[in-house]
Chain A
């Protein structure tokens, strides 16, 4: 039986990817961030040893444009290419998929009334890419884990509700646990925390709200799932609304969880965080 062995929440800010590629790990402005991820990376490599990561993210016009933007989409491929978002392709290896698990998840989730768009080709942009090299070491041409990309529309309202995302996470856990092969599965929810990239309120961050979110996602996820998009965006900024992707991750964990590591840093325009949780 496959099991969920880790739940990670992680921001996906593009400038982190640039800093990583430019090897700014020791730059004073960036060092706290890379150091903040290090204990999680170590825990994942030394203790969790996941075989597969299901990473919840949103695409930014790379694979899907507004002509047809899916609410939920699941990758069901053997591999996924690193996309060029118009600024050059990041020097990261393409990702090996776990198509058997993807197919199983697709069958189970659809039977469980989550009607996903299923994708046999998907190029992955910073929504997916940012967290990966901070959480898993890669070499020039491979990753130590296989991936299953799970996309959520967080860019064009109407978005799915937080509650729907949480329930998707719960359904995801049931689907994972019904996979017959012994697989160790990590679930990563990306995005957030507070930020706003449009209008006169550009640059808005709410550190207090972010810290509360990091507590409540552990102890009161159902209360967070009840928040309306209006409430979240008012408190956490318009683009902060993407935190609903963390609720998919949280829904895939047990009702009680243990915090392994937490880090928060708000250097520029986003409350950047990584939170590592495990089932109890």
Chain B
């Protein structure tokens, strides 16, 4: 899915509807399991096995391997859930956002009114 063919037609936006939610269910189910410390440890110990256990498809696995948050979004990942994955692998919200915008973290922060409010 590209920016042009999101069903809702809002540029640069992937509306989390039931269709996208169904597409990304395995991702979001896996990410939500990372609420628990023992699951985070299991993910870090063997990422591939953990992804297989939750049934991610090849595209989804590749997006996780590459920490490609935009791709993960397009494949049905929801930020509220994949923030838990991001925290597990050391990415923060604003790094994710900068990446989705195609900008460096520094460039993105310059677009904010009060970048100290993090």
Contact = CB atoms under 8 A, between A and B. Distances in A.
Interface in A196-252: 196-204, 230, 233-234, 237-238
Contact of B13 (A28, A33, A196, A203): A196
Contacts, number: 125
Contacts of B117: 15, 19, 29-30, 33, 267-268
Contacts of B29: 65-67
Interface residues of A, number: 39
Interface size class of B (residues with CB under 8 A): 35 or more
A151 B115 CA distance: 31
A66 B10 contact: no
- Residue from A29, A199, A230 with most neighbouring chain B CB atoms (10 Å): A199
- Residue from A28, A84, A201, A268 with most neighbouring chain B CB atoms (10 Å): A268
A158 B112 CA distance: 31
Contacts of B93: 197, 269
A199 B70 contact: yes
A29 B116 CA distance: 5
Interface in B64-118: 70, 73, 78-81, 84, 87, 93-94, 96-97, 100-102, 108, 111-118
A267 B113 contact: yes
A84 B34 CA distance: 11
Contacts of A29: 114-118
Given A200-B100, A268-B112, A61 B17 contact: no
B16 interface: yes
A86 B87 contact: yes
Interface in A258-275: 266-269
B101 to A, nearest CB: 5
A196 B115 CA distance: 17
A200 B70 contact: yes
A267 B25 CA distance: 33
B81 to A, nearest CB: 5
- Residue from A198, A201, A234 with most neighbouring chain B CB atoms (10 Å): A198
Interface string B1-44: 00100001111111111100100010011001011100010000
B16 A233 contact: no
Interface in A42-100: 60-62, 65-67, 84-87
Contacts of B15: 157, 233, 238
Contacts of A66: 21, 25, 28-29, 78
A27 interface: yes
B100 A202 contact: yes
Interface of A: 15, 19, 27-30, 33, 60-62, 65-67, 84-87, 155-158, 196-204, 230, 233-234, 237-238, 266-269
Interface of B: 3, 8-18, 21, 25, 28-29, 32, 34-36, 40, 70, 73, 78-81, 84, 87, 93-94, 96-97, 100-102, 108, 111-118
Going nearest first, the 6 A-B pairs with the smallest beta carbon separation are A29-B116, A201-B12, A267-B114, A200-B12, A267-B117, A157-B17
13 contacts: A29-B118, A30-B117, A61-B32, A85-B35, A86-B34, A86-B36, A155-B78, A202-B100, A238-B14, A238-B15, A267-B116, A268-B117, A269-B94
